Structure 1
Amino acid sequence: MPSEVQVLKAHVSVNVRNVERSVAFYTKMLGIEPSKVRTGYAKFDVQNPPLNLALNEVPQLAGAGALSHLGLQVASTEDVLAMRQRWAEAGLVTRDEMQTDCCYATQDKTWVRDPDGNQWEAFVVLKDNLPEVERAGACATTSAAGCACASASA
């Protein structure tokens, strides 16, 4: 990206089957209310990290879509655990992967799944750029399903 371009925040637009149900989930997950709600549409203007998250209602949406997963990279394992605690206290089901090799890095992470099956992770990179010789592929697990980098279907 050219250095003279000032990017304000990333934008992610997610297709959902039911906006109201998804707004309830994302309000819990993000800990904020949406900044805009219209028929078939909602937007969350997240400040930390800077993110414009849009939800677009597509009632006929089939399956979990082609999206692998979404994530929030945090600074420490303590931050991962704090996210897990906040999500659990909000009534969301979490799943942990600690000291896991994924995407050629060792990471600690926790996961939640939205009402349409989209998975979000909060993760910290503990050791980056693991060489290919140390592992059989992008993930150290025996099946691709064991690593969200290859498949977020766990």
Structure 2
Amino acid sequence: MQSAVEFATNTRIHIALETSTLDEAIAFYRTMFAQEPVKVKPGYAKFEVADPPVNLSLNAAAQAHATSGASHFGVQVKSTDAVHEAKQRFETAGYGIETEEHVTCCWAVQDKVWVRDPDGNAWEIFVVLDADAAVHGKADSDVCCAPAAELVTLG
């Protein structure tokens, strides 16, 4: 049998997030992906995004919190202009952001913008400028790829 859902790639990532504020989460991900959800039902919303290829489900929960096992999520783009476009979308929508330019992270030099969804999940939109940096990251720390703790969300 074939998939009942069409998408351009052979595979795509599926992420299911719990949210205590479904309407706010829909607004956040509408801003992130610059598109409407393909399905909204009581307690549920789904975004099927072609670029990047992801199936993102939002599930209402009485008490959601950022997943302790996930450090953060990210969308890798191909240019600093694309990072700036994402930054502009989030700023226009009123989300708190953190910008890092020419930062070394995960053994690579990157430009990026950080933002948190309404439930505290950290997202980075980033471009790799140099794939072979000489150090791991901030002061060669093990924890280099994370937003500032004080990064705030709407709500």
- Distance in 2 between residues matched to 1:142 and 1:50, nearest whole Å: 32
Query: What's the Cα RMSD here?
Result: 2.1
The answer for the alignment partner of 1:65 in structure 2 is: 67
CA deviations 1:25-81 (Å, max 9, x no partner) are: 2112222111111222110111222211111122123x4222211111111112111
> Residues of 2 paired with 1:99 and 1:139: CA distance?
11
- 2:138 aligned partner, one-letter code: A
Q: Which residue, 132, 136, 139 being the options, matches 2:137?
A: 139
Q: How does 1:23-38 map to 2 (within 5 A)?
A: 23-38=26-41
How many residue pairs match? The answer is: 140
2:97 corresponds to which residue?
94
Q: What's the counterpart of residue 57 of structure 2?
A: 54
Unaligned residue ranges in structure 1 (runs of 5+)? 1-5
| Overall identity of the aligned pairs, in % | 43
User: 1:89 and 1:152 mapped to 2: Cα distance?
Assistant: 20
Task: Give the equivalent residue in structure 2 for 1:42.
Answer: 45
Unaligned runs of 5+ in 2: 1-8, 150-155
2 CA distance for matches of 1:87 and 1:7?
A: 30
Which of the numbers 57, 73, 76 marks the counterpart of 2:79?
76
Normalised by the length of structure 2, the TM-score is 0.79
CA distance in 1, matches of 2:56, 2:25: 12
| Paired residues of 2:19 and 2:63 also in contact (CA < 8 A) | no
* CA distance, structure 1, for counterparts of residue 80 and residue 63 of structure 2: 38
Matches within 5 A, 1:5-20: 7-20=10-23
* Letter matched to residue 93 of structure 2: A
